[in-house]
């Protein structure tokens, strides 16, 4: 019998307890040992819960009980999750978490602590919910150099963009619907501003390239400025708008990494990943493109990923998994203004014909886009690939000529 | 340093040697030990090969060398791969294989032998080439009951069907093209008759449900009878034809398992998996639907999966992985004639109007399909779901009324 403590009885935590109880027999078969939940740490009361006797309010109960071998951290946030996790790892306990904020901020430190104490720190559930992705990258693709990772990593924004595309409802209305359906939180910033996707691409990048990338190093844009006009122009261009987290290694050893909405051609392997689903493309030098697709969030998908990690810990109590990456470096990420990218630009002008003459002078040949019901003076085009900083300069020059850029969206090369 | 022997220097074997040499440093980092290839067993000569000095012609060289800890079996076929693998496992060596025929026929026996000798028998490359699938099912989805697995498991047939659909070229012509491009072998039976897909769904079913399913237990149909007429009717119905391997557990404890072409609705998660790509859908009771997508074959994708298993073996030389399933049972698979399924039927008749009266009498209401350029007397329809044996009876009854069934294709409920 291996005793587990669960810290946090929110959506994921209660799912973890349910899954462990419901699948107790098949988990025992797979882990070769019975796994039981001894404590649930939560400051709130849950009167009438079938797990009532397991609730505790003090972390000390866990740390002082030598029977506890595995701790599940599903509180969310960095404090006190970070301090608790450190103390658990330092005491030789394995820790499993779904907390992407914690892993994205403190992963290197916690992985080193796990290594120093010959124990495990696992976090399959932190990216992609129930989609297996951490283990496939670290194990199955171990014989590959990862050329690139790109993904739709946030279900809330994907739901909103899908509805905007398929039902032609504006952003504010679809956001309200997402909130009503429980897909978006009352304060939706972490999702719609791209912070959540940023944490996830940081975790994937750190894992794939062996060195920590911190969220503050990653240029991150959300979807709050996407309008139905942009959706229509994307369609005219032959694609859809998706919020993409993307990382690749440059020849200079630095990472090119970004989170932003992008135009994806309809043929792209990620273009058909709709609604709350996530999809992650991993391009290996040997395996080629591999795509993982499924529900990226939700109580039971996430809980089942946590419990799979608990089973893995139970099987490896005395051997360490080799999940590891080293500390980051402030020069590890290339300035995104150095990236080469083609750009969709929507602008306003008083004189279409003159504007496109000026645009051609400035950008060279561009692909002009049109849409039904375009407003007077509204123009849109897609540039050739060039450095972002050069695009900025050209946009500034156009502004001086009376062509006012209203929105810019990068064109994906996926 | 861990010494490895590779048995078979065909497409996959030479890929394995290349990957191990090319990625030697990053593999060492991931395995925490240097991995070297000491022997390559092949009866043929490879003069001028950079690996010339490693070639051996006798299996005894491997079995008598105590330095060899891991053996890669990529010879294909059952004999002598089976005997060699048994001797390696019996001597405590780990074995990694990409040989789906071997695993599908002898998996339970070899897994037991591995267990008895406290060593590992791994076969990630046997299904889905470079797509991680064995490990995700056995580890990441360990906290799920697998409700169902369905997949496009054979790239050759998927390439042929894709070309038939997109370019309206008949079966024989697309098969010839696939052979020219090296996607199909000169004797293409294993692919087009569904045997290859059958072996793979057997491996997935054995793994997911813990008991061996043998290929001869699985009703298997290929794609050789699919015509452009059927492709057009599928399109009229709102879908595409794909060769699907599918398994689910029935309430009576038996497995429903089949390999056959199916009509898939365009919205299905597998409908857009085209060309030589494979896609595998795993439906877990907690994780929901997870889809894995990528190149299901090819030298380097498959080799990279083999090498990932070699790395895993190197990390677990003294601990056993818990990959395991028990022997099968002749009553374990439900007679496919008991399956409930809707059926597409293409038939010939002298009198359309009378025919559809008789069909309605026989099948109840059906969905009538039409296509441009239908030949005189050609009709097609889709039945409601019913037992296959009842469909057989009704088709016989219709034959007595002058309605001659030409082709039948099952309708997927995916």
Q: pLDDT by residue (tens digit) across A374-393? A: 999 999 999 999 999 999 99
At residue A30, the pLDDT reads 87
What would the mean pLDDT of A253-275 be, rounded to a whole number? 95
At residue A33, the pLDDT reads 94
B136 vs chain A: nearest CA distance in angstroms?
6
B273 to chain A: which residues are within 8 Å by CB? Answer: none
Would you call A311 and B143 a contact, using CB atoms and an 8 Å cutoff? Answer: yes
Q: For an interface test with A, which of B35, B140, B314 has the most A Cβ atoms less than 10 Å from its Cβ?
A: B140
Would you call B30 and A322 a contact, using CB atoms and an 8 Å cutoff? Answer: yes
Would you call A308 and B284 a contact, using CB atoms and an 8 Å cutoff? Answer: no
The beta-carbon neighbor of A294 closest among B130, B272, B291 is B291
CB B11 within 8 A of CB B182: no
A19 to chain B: which residues are within 8 Å by CB? Answer: 143, 286
The mean of the pLDDT values for chain A is 96
**Of residues A88, A94, A93, A220, the one with CA closest to residue A157:** A220
Query: Is the Cα dihedral A64, A65, A66, A68 positive or negative?
Result: negative
SS (H, E, C) chain B: CEEEEEECCCHHHHHHHHHHHHCHHHHHHHHCCCEEEEEEECCCCCCCCCCHHHEECCHHHHHCCCCEEEEEECCCCCCCHHHHHHHHHHCCCEEEECCHHHHHHHHHHHHHHHHHCCCCEECHHHCCCCCCCHHHHHHHCCCCCEEEEEEECCHHHHHHHHHHHHHCCCHHHHHHHHHHCCCCCCCCHHHHCCHHHHHHHHHHHHHHHCECCCHHHCEECCCCCCCHHHHHHHHHHCEEEEEEEEEEECCCCCEEEEEEEEEEECCCCCCCCCCCEEEEEEEECCCEEEEEEEECCCHHHHHHHHHHHHHHHHHCCCCCCCCCCECCCCCCECCHHHCEEEEEEEEECCCHHHHHHHHHHHHCCCEEECCCCCCCCEEEEECCCEEHHHHHHHHHHHHHCCCEEEEEEEECCC
The beta-carbon neighbor of A286 closest among B141, B292, B301 is B301
Of the candidates A69, A200, A229, A242, the residue annotated as catalytic is A200
The beta-carbon neighbor of A135 closest among B140, B143, B293 is B140
What would the mean pLDDT of A199-228 be, rounded to a whole number? 97
At residue B299, the pLDDT reads 93
B23 to chain A: which residues are within 8 Å by CB? Answer: 143-145
At residue A323, the pLDDT reads 87
Would you say the CATH fold of B339-411 matches that of B2-129+300-315?
Answer: no
Catalytically active residues of B are 200
Residue B404 has a CB neighbour count (10 Å cut-off) of 13
At residue A253, the pLDDT reads 94
Would you call A290 and B322 a contact, using CB atoms and an 8 Å cutoff? Answer: no
At residue B141, the pLDDT reads 86
Would you call A139 and B304 a contact, using CB atoms and an 8 Å cutoff? Answer: no
**So what CATH class is A339-411?**
alpha beta
The beta-carbon neighbor of B293 closest among A23, A293, A312 is A293
Cβ-proximal residues to A325 (8 Å cutoff; 6+ apart), any chain: A107, A108, A111, A206, A207, A209, A210, A211, A212
Would you call A307 and B124 a contact, using CB atoms and an 8 Å cutoff? Answer: no
Would you call A140 and B272 a contact, using CB atoms and an 8 Å cutoff? Answer: no
CA A304 to chain centre: 18
Q: Is the pLDDT of residue A142 over 90?
A: no
Nearest residue of A to residue B141, measured between CA atoms: A308
Query: Is the Cα dihedral B317, B323, B326, B328 positive or negative?
Result: negative
At residue A83, the pLDDT reads 98
Would you call B286 and A140 a contact, using CB atoms and an 8 Å cutoff? Answer: no
ipTM: 0.92
Q: Is the pLDDT of residue A339 over 80?
A: yes
B26 to chain A: which residues are within 8 Å by CB? Answer: 145
Residues of chain B under the 50 pLDDT cut: none
At residue A199, the pLDDT reads 98
At residue A89, the pLDDT reads 97
B310 to chain A: which residues are within 8 Å by CB? Answer: 143
Cβ-proximal residues to B97 (8 Å cutoff; 6+ apart), any chain: B72, B73, B74, B81, B85, B103, B121, B122, B123, B125, B126, B306
Nearest residue of A to residue B319, measured between CA atoms: A319
A178 vs chain B: nearest CA distance in angstroms?
20
d(CA B203, CA B329): 15
* Domain residue spans of chain B: 2-129+300-315, 134-295, 339-411
A and B: number of Cβ contacts within 8 A: 176
d(CA B197, CA B181): 20
CA angle B318, A37, A27 (to 5 degrees): 50
Query: Is the Cα dihedral A24, A81, A132, A270 positive or negative?
Result: positive
What would the mean pLDDT of A332-340 be, rounded to a whole number? 97
B128 to chain A: which residues are within 8 Å by CB? Answer: none
What are the φ/ψ torsions at residue A256 (nearest 5 degrees)?
-100, 115
Q: For an interface test with A, which of B132, B249, B269, B293 has the most A Cβ atoms less than 10 Å from its Cβ?
A: B132
Would you call A288 and B294 a contact, using CB atoms and an 8 Å cutoff? Answer: yes
d(CA B295, CA B305): 11
B291 vs chain A: nearest CA distance in angstroms?
5
B31 to chain A: which residues are within 8 Å by CB? Answer: 142
- B209-240: b (≥16 Cβ within 10 Å) or e: bebbbbbebbbbbbbbebeebbbbbbbebebb
Residue A248 has a CB neighbour count (10 Å cut-off) of 18
Q: Is the pLDDT of residue A55 over 90?
A: yes
A321 vs chain B: nearest CA distance in angstroms?
9
CB A201 within 8 A of CB A257: yes
The beta-carbon neighbor of A294 closest among B135, B272, B290 is B290
CATH of region B134-295: 3.30.360.10
CB B242 within 8 A of CB B217: no
Burial label, B324 (beta-carbon count in 10 A; 0-12, 13-18, 19+): buried
B348 vs chain A: nearest CA distance in angstroms?
38
B146 to chain A: which residues are within 8 Å by CB? Answer: none
Percent of chain A with pLDDT over 70: 100
At residue B87, the pLDDT reads 98
The beta-carbon neighbor of A132 closest among B30, B140, B293 is B140
What would the mean pLDDT of A19-48 be, rounded to a whole number? 94
**Of residues A129, A175, A130, A143, the one with CA closest to residue A156:** A175
What's the CATH superfamily of B2-129+300-315?
NAD(P)-binding Rossmann-like Domain (3.40.50.720)
A322 to chain B: which residues are within 8 Å by CB? Answer: 30, 32, 315
A218 vs chain B: nearest CA distance in angstroms?
26
What would the mean pLDDT of A344-352 be, rounded to a whole number? 96
């Amino acid at each position: 019998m291996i005793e587990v403590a669960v810290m946090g009885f929110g959506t994921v935590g209660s799912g973890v307890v349910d899954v462990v109880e419901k699948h107790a027999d098949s988990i025992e078969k797979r882990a070769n040992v019975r796994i039981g939940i001894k404590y649930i740490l939560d400051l709130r009361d849950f009167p009438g819960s079938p797990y009532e006797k397991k609730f505790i309010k003090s972390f000390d109960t866990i740390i002082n009980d030598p029977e506890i071998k595995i701790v599940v951290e599903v509180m969310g946030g960095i404090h006190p999750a970070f301090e608790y996790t450190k103390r658990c790892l330092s005491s030789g306990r394995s820790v499993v978490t779904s907390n992407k904020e914690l892993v994205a901020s403190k992963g290197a430190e916690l992985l080193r602590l796990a290594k120093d104490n010959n124990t495990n720190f696992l976090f399959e559930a932190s990216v992609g919910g129930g989609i297996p992705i951490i283990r496939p990258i670290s194990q199955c693709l171990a014989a590959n150099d990862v050329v690139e990772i790109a993904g739709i990593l946030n279900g809330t924004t994907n739901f909103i963009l899908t509805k905007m595309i398929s039902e032609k409802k504006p952003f504010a209305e679809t956001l309200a619907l997402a909130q009503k359906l429980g897909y978006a939180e009352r304060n939706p910033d972490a999702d719609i501003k791209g912070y959540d996707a940023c944490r996830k691409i940081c975790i994937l990048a750190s894992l794939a390239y062996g060195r920590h990338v911190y969220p503050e190093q990653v240029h991150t844009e959300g979807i709050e400025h996407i309008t139905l006009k942009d959706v229509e122009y994307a369609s005219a261009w032959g694609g859809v708008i998706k919020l993409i987290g993307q990382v690749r290694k440059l020849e200079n050893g630095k990472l090119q990494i970004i989170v932003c909405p992008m135009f994806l051609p309809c043929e792209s392997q990620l273009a058909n990943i709709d609604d709350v689903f996530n999809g992650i493309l991993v391009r290996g030098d040997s395996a080629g493109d591999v795509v993982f697709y499924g529900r990226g969030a939700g109580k039971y998908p996430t809980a089942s990923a946590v419990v799979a990690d608990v089973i893995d810990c139970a099987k490896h109590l005395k051997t360490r998994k080799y999940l590891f990456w080293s500390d980051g470096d402030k020069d590890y990420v290339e300035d995104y203004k150095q990236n080469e990218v083609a750009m969709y630009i929507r602008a306003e002008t008083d004189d279409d014909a003159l504007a496109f003459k000026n645009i051609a002078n400035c950008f060279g040949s561009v692909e002009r886009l049109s849409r039904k019901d375009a407003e007077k003076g509204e123009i849109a085009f897609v540039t050739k690939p060039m450095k972002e900083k050069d695009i900025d300069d050209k946009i500034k020059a156009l502004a001086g000529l009376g062509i006012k850029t209203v929105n810019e969206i990068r064109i994906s090369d996926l």
